[in-house]
Structure 1
Amino acid sequence: MSAIHPAEKSASRMARLAGLSYALYTAAGLYITFGPIPSFSRLADQGAETETLGFLFRTGLLAEVLLYTFVIVSAAAMYVLLRSVSQGGALIAAFCRLIEGAMGATFIIFKYAAFAAVMNPELTPAFSGEERVSLMLLLRDVTSSALYFLLIPMAFGGVIFFALFFRSRYIPRWLSGWGMFTYFIVGTLAASIVLYPPLEQHVMLFFLPGALFEWVLASWLIFAGVNTQRLKPVAD
């Protein structure tokens, strides 16, 4: 038992770290979606509220940085937890989530570039007002539309992670099955929107159950942890 105890303790820590990361990046995602973040159109008005709106927009950028940071932290924790089940599968899943984080960081840079073009006209002195607005709208559309490309590797990695959870029974199989189904739906919807952009306005509500699943999973991992009786030794 003394030889098993350190592995159980490490698995419990990794499970809680993954759960906390899920909770934090889901909270950041909800703030980005429903928080008081102004649109680029409001920023472009250059009214008296520009400074306040600029601050609120920066909070959205910070939330996105936190979101993708904790996506990667959660992926690392889940890799450590699940590598004993299938090191190859856990590595592929973690790498998919790393791709998600890298793409997210790229989109943040594009979004900040659009924000800078709106807030600091002196950065583009050769542009007329209309040209500056066109540049801002282009960068805005790139970041908003490209989000669906990011969701595809995220979904692929999520399905693999929860297939490994289902196989190992570290968490209840109903929760693992819910995770596989959730990420499969997210990936399918994202690919459908990439192929048929007009679908976006009809299927957005189907993304919301994903946030519910992530809250339930986060709560389970933080408070219940994993079934340490089913832990497997890591292969050398």
Structure 2
Amino acid sequence: MSAIQHSEQSARRMARLAGLSYLIYTLAGLYITFGPLPGLSTLLSGEAPPERDEFLFRTGFLAEMVMYIFVVVSAAAMYAVLRSVSQGTAMVGAFCRLIEGAMGATFIVFKYAAFAAVVNPDLSPGFSGEERSALVTLLRDVYGSTIYLLLIPMAVGGVLYFALFFRARFIPRWLAAWGVLTYFVIGTLAGVIILFPSVREHVMLFFIPGALFEWVVAFWLLFAGINTRHWWGKSSGATEGATAP
């Protein structure tokens, strides 16, 4: 097997891993967004939640950890697929998605701190119920506001990745262009919300096409895979031309 054939097979495997990762973290995101999870506002009384709610809270934390773990896995897999197109650009995209994952894990810690302060009063023995409620409110608002910060590196990484897909034609160009547009819109909306928090409720619907795109590209990469013939054929042709006497 030639080096080019080996690289093509490796890229196809990594593309399917990226598709699987997209699918897993979008499923986790759906559970977090639409699942039967109580909101942090249920902790505002400063009293420990019922046992059922506590369990659901914990499943939410687990789902968020799974989501960000597979964000990182997808970043590594996408880098492995796209480094042959432009190693520098693919690396910048990967680091942006890694920043997203690191920020997401940090925000989970903030939210878990609020949860733990109420569920385990021994962790804050000097706090009254009202003080615990105030702590939950603070950490809830920090989490709710700063979550938009991680959408900025996510958007930059997504734009770079799908610009490389568009260039290499590993996936149909319409799908790659949709990806570039999707992540550009996500980044723009996140920046607008950070600057003007009052518009958040008015622009949330514009995030829906982004969620739809991630489902489409997840299934495409997982089941259809990537077509490397155009790019690797072009690369091998250039190599042969350079080595010809």
Distance 1:161 1:2 in 2: 27
Distance 2:13 2:195 in 1: 41
Unaligned runs of 5+ in 1: none
Which residue of structure 2 aligns with residue 108 of structure 1? 108
Q: Indicate if the aligned counterparts of 1:18 and 1:218 stay in contact, CA closer than 8 A.
A: yes
Which residue of structure 2 aligns with residue 224 of structure 1? 224
**Pair 218,167 (structure 1): closer, same or farther in 2 beyond 3 Å:** same
Which residue of structure 2 aligns with residue 17 of structure 1? 17
Q: Do structure 1's residue 58 and structure 2's residue 89 form an aligned pair?
A: no
Higher Cα Rg, which structure? 2
Q: Which one-letter code corresponds to 2:38 in the other structure? A: P
Q: Indicate if the aligned counterparts of 1:72 and 1:98 stay in contact, CA closer than 8 A.
A: yes
TM-score by length of 1: 0.95
Q: Secondary structure at the match of 1:183?
A: helix
Which residue of structure 1 aligns with residue 42 of structure 2? 42
Distance 1:185 1:70 in 2: 22
Deviation per residue, 1:81-116 (Å, 9 max, x gap)? 101111110000000000000000100100110000
User: 1:53-132, aligned counterparts within 5 Å?
Assistant: 53-132=53-132
Which residue of structure 2 aligns with residue 191 of structure 1? 191
Q: Indicate if the aligned counterparts of 1:43 and 1:50 stay in contact, CA closer than 8 A.
A: no
Distance 2:123 2:206 in 1: 40
Q: Which one-letter code corresponds to 1:134 in the other structure? A: A
Which residue of structure 2 aligns with residue 181 of structure 1? 181
TM-aligned CA deviation for residue 12 of structure 1: 1.1
Q: Indicate if the aligned counterparts of 2:47 and 2:119 stay in contact, CA closer than 8 A.
A: no
Q: What is the RMSD of the two structures over their aligned residues, measured on CA atoms?
A: 1.7
Count of paired positions: 234
TM-aligned CA deviation for residue 5 of structure 1: 2.4
User: 1:156-171, aligned counterparts within 5 Å?
Assistant: 156-171=156-171
Distance 2:206 2:36 in 1: 23
Q: Indicate if the aligned counterparts of 2:45 and 2:129 stay in contact, CA closer than 8 A.
A: no
Which residue of structure 1 aligns with residue 146 of structure 2? 146
Q: Secondary structure at the match of 2:148?
A: helix
TM-aligned CA deviation for residue 9 of structure 1: 1.3
Q: Indicate if the aligned counterparts of 2:169 and 2:231 stay in contact, CA closer than 8 A.
A: no
Q: Which one-letter code corresponds to 2:169 in the other structure? A: R
Distance 1:160 1:99 in 2: 15
Deviation per residue, 1:158-211 (Å, 9 max, x gap)? 000000000110100000000000000000000000000001111111111111
Q: Which one-letter code corresponds to 1:6 in the other structure? A: H
Which residue of structure 2 aligns with residue 155 of structure 1? 155
**Pair 113,49 (structure 1): closer, same or farther in 2 beyond 3 Å:** closer
Distance 1:212 1:201 in 2: 19
TM-aligned CA deviation for residue 130 of structure 1: 1.0
Which residue of structure 2 aligns with residue 32 of structure 1? 32
TM-score by length of 2: 0.91
Q: Kindly, what percent of the aligned residue pairs are identical?
A: 67
TM-aligned CA deviation for residue 43 of structure 1: 3.4
Q: Which one-letter code corresponds to 1:57 in the other structure? A: F
Which residue of structure 2 aligns with residue 215 of structure 1? 215
Q: Which one-letter code corresponds to 1:190 in the other structure? A: A
Q: Which one-letter code corresponds to 1:191 in the other structure? A: G
Q: Indicate if the aligned counterparts of 1:43 and 1:54 stay in contact, CA closer than 8 A.
A: no
Compare 118-127 and 99-108 and name the one that shifted more. 118-127
